[in-house]
Chains A and B, each alone.
Chain A
Amino acid sequence: MGNEVMSVLKKDYIYNLMLKGKRADGRAFDEIRDIDLRTNVIDKAEGSAWIKLGGTELLVGIKLQVGSPFPDSEGEGVIITSMELNPIASPDFEAGPPKEDAIEMARVTDRGIRESGAIDLSKLCITEGEEVWIVFIDIHVLNNEGNIQDAASLAAIAALMTTTIPGEREGRGEDMPMPIRDMPVSVSLVDIGGEVMVDPDLDEEAVCDSRLTIVSNQDGSISGMQKSGDGALNDEKLLKAVSLACKKASELRETHLLNI
Chain B
Amino acid sequence: MHVDLHPRYADDAAATEASGLISACVHCGFCLATCPTYLDSGDERDSPRGRIYLLKQLLEAGEAGPATRRHLDRCLTCRSCETTCPSGMQYGKLLDIGRGMIETEAPRPFLERAWRRALRLVFSRPALFAMVLRPGQWLRPLLPPALARKIPAPQTVGPRPDRQHARRMLVLEGCVQGAATPATNAAATRLLDSLGISLVAAPRAGCCGAVNYHLGAHQQGLDNMRANIDAWWPEIEAGAEAIVSSATGCGSMIADYGKLLASDPAYADKAERIAQLHKDIAQVIATEGLAKLKLAPDARKIAVHVPCSQQHALGQGTAVTDILQGLGFQLAVTRDDHLCCGSAGTYSILQRERSERLRRNKLAALETDKPALIVTANVGCQLHLGEDSSVPVRHWVEFLDEVAHGGR
* Chain B associates with chain A: no
> Which A residues are closer than 8 A to B by beta carbons?
none
> Which B residues are closer than 8 A to A by beta carbons?
none
